[in-house]
């Protein structure tokens, strides 16, 4: 499975949305288990797990060009996960210390991902979409609610396909900023 | 938004926008170099004996050592911008300019009598150097930081520091064309101080701008 992921990422970087969707969907439950374990090690409850998962997915997406195709994908993913877990812990006012060995022991256990806890994945983070403009929210919702392609969403919103892509990209950057880290 | 929805939105945005991290930084270095060159020509200008000085190994050394720092700092900045990279190994990239500088200082100390050391170290123009090098580095620093915002450094201040060293080296490379002081002793003290100041500025700015 892991070998596949690098291939899926390459395909995604080349614009294959289906492959990219599959990669992120398969990564999410693994990230969730890793995040759960990392936060538990740091003495943090489960409330922030989905924050870590979503921020990590966003960071993987926004920073996907920092992955060097000639290197393995997963060390890159874990470094991002750890960075985002630290970020969340820091915002919780904890001493941000996630020991690396905690990560390593977690990684051994997640080789075969289990079905995720449904409740967590459904955790709503509506507060984040509040940071978007109406137009950006409309684009994000059109794309994800109906799984519409950029072209379909554009037709629905009377925007060009290019404008939808740009708005979507901006919205995702703003979302990442709303989580706390960087500026938009 | 639920995680599955977020994934749908991310997937729809699959194809990366704009230039790659590497292309962006290379562009920033080239554009920053051009801006620094123009700024030098419009302000201080090259030294009057520029053409004759090209025959002097000491004069050429200033370009060699600053250019080697530009290349190694740029490579280091790229490594530091990639999550999961081996940072300690990356830091070893800086050996080339360090060895060049130390080697040149040793050669200078051996070839010049001790009575001449102080005059060469203090030089004639150190105050201009300390102002001009950071001044010429400002545009390259802004461009380098902007390019590196595509990156994802584990330690934003460290990445900013390296961006500062990169920009400082670009500024110093072009200032060298004006600088009348060619001794490696002068370079080791004043160029290092000036580039270090730009590095410190880069660290402060990077701590804010390169967070992700």
Q: Which of A85, A117, A149 is the last residue of a domain?
A: A117
Are B153 and B93 in contact, with CB atoms under 8 Å apart?
Answer: no
- What total of structural domains would you count in chain A? 2
Q: What is the structure's pLDDT at A181?
A: 47
**Mean pLDDT, rounded, of chain A:** 74
CA distances to A18, A98, B36, B63, B66 from A95, in Å: 39, 9, 43, 46, 40
Each residue's pLDDT tens digit, B18-53:
889 999 999 999 999 999 999 999 999 999 999 999
Alpha-carbon span B99 to B69, nearest angstrom: 11
Residue A46 has pLDDT above 80, yes or no: no
Alpha-carbon span A68 to A77, nearest angstrom: 12
Measured between beta carbons, the chain B residues lying within 8 angstroms of A25 are 4, 7
Measured between beta carbons, the chain A residues lying within 8 angstroms of B147 are none
* DSSP string for residues in A65-117: GGS-TTS-HHHHHHHHHHHHHHHHHHHTTS-----HHHHHHHHHHTSSPPPPP
Residue A129 has pLDDT above 70, yes or no: no
Q: What is the structure's pLDDT at A60?
A: 95
Owner of token pair 């997963």: A74
| Rounded mean pLDDT, B84-111 | 89
Whole domain around residue A138: which residue ranges? 124-184
Query: What's the burial of A91, exposed, middle or buried (CB within 10 Å: 0-12/13-18/19+)?
Result: middle
Each residue's pLDDT tens digit, A14-39:
999 999 999 999 999 999 998 888 88
Test A121 with B9 for CB contact under 8 angstroms.
no
Q: Which of A117, A141, A156 is the last residue of a domain?
A: A117
Residue B57: pLDDT band (50, 70, 90) is: very high
Contact of B9 with chain A, judged by CB distance below 8 Å, is answered with yes
Q: Is residue A108 located within the same domain as residue A176?
A: no
- Residue B97's contacts (CB-CB under 8 Å, 6 or more residues apart) are B65, B66, B68, B69, B72, B169
CATH (domain of A57): 1.10.1740
Higher pLDDT, A159 or A62: A62
Which residues in A157-184 are b (16+ Cβ under 10 Å) and which e? Answer: bebeeeebbbbbbbbbbbbbbbbebbee
Residue A124 has pLDDT above 70, yes or no: no
CATH (domain of A158): 1.10.10.10
């Amino acid at each position: 499975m892991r070998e596949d992921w690098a291939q899926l990422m390459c395909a995604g970087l080349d614009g294959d949305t289906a492959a990219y969707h599959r990669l992120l969907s398969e990564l999410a439950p693994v990230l969730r288990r890793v995040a759960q374990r990392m936060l538990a090690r740091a003495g943090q409850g489960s409330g922030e797990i989905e924050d870590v998962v979503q921020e990590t997915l966003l960071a993987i997406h926004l920073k996907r060009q920092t992955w060097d195709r000639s290197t393995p994908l997963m060390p890159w993913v874990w470094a991002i996960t750890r960075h985002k877990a630290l970020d969340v812990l820091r915002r919780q006012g904890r001493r941000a210390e996630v020991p690396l060995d905690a990560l390593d022991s977690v990684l051994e256990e997640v080789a075969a991902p289990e079905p995720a806890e449904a409740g967590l994945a459904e955790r709503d983070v509506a507060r984040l979409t509040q940071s978007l403009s109406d137009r950006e929210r409309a684009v994000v919702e059109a794309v994800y609610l109906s799984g519409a392609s950029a072209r379909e969403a554009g037709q629905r919103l009377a925007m060009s396909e290019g404008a939808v892509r740009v708005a979507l990209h901006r919205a995702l950057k703003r979302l990442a900023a709303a989580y706390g880290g960087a500026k938009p | 938004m639920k995680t599955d929805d977020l994934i749908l939105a991310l997937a729809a945005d699959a194809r990366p926008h704009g230039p790659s991290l590497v292309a962006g930084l290379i562009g920033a270095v080239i554009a920053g170099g051009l801006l620094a060159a123009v700024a030098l020509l419009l302000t201080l200008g090259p030294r009057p004996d520029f053409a004759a000085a090209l025959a002097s190994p000491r004069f050429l050394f200033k370009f060699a050592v600053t250019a080697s720092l530009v290349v190694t700092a740029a490579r280091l900045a790229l490594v530091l911008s990639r999550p999961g990279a081996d940072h300690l190994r990356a830091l070893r990239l800086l050996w080339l300019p360090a060895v060049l500088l130390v080697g040149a200082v040793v050669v200078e100390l051996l070839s010049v009598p001790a009575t001449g050391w102080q005059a060469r170290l203090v030089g004639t123009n150190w105050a201009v150097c300390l102002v001009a090098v950071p001044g010429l580095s400002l545009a390259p620093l802004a461009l380098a930081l902007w390019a590196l915002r595509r990156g994802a450094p584990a330690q934003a201040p460290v990445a900013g520091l390296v961006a500062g060293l990169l920009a400082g080296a670009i500024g110093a490379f072009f200032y060298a064309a004006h600088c009348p002081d060619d001794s490696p002793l002068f370079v080791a003290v004043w160029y290092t101080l000036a580039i270090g100041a730009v590095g410190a500025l880069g660290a402060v700015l990077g701590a804010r701008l390169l967070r992700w």
